[in-house]
Amino acid sequence: MVYFIRRCLHSHSDTLATKILEILAQAMADDSKLLIMEDIVANPPHTRSTTFDMMMMKVGGKERPLHCWETVTRNAGLVITNVLQGTGQLGYLSVIECMKVPDTLN
């Protein structure tokens, strides 16, 4: 089974995003995949990412660099297996592929 979340988690704090992913991870089979389509903030951040980050702060969310996505997913019981950078008009969006951490490693 493949799960897909697009442009949703950036609207939430790390704590809430982790909780959302944790609930999803509990429902996933060991061979399921989760695809998260979000902006991955570069270092230094692009003007677009900075603008979105300022907008997200109003609702309690934030744009995240890859190391933050690694922390959020790890804390939810997931591991990032691949990151695909967007191109063209959607170049600012990336797909973060995750799998459930096997129970033996949790």
Catalytic residues: 10
Rounded Cα gap, residues 30 and 90, in angstroms: 30
Closest CA to 53 of 92, 87, 97: 92
Rounded Cα gap, residues 92 and 1, in angstroms: 26
The token pair that represents 63 in the structure block: 């744009």
Amino acid sitting at position 4: F
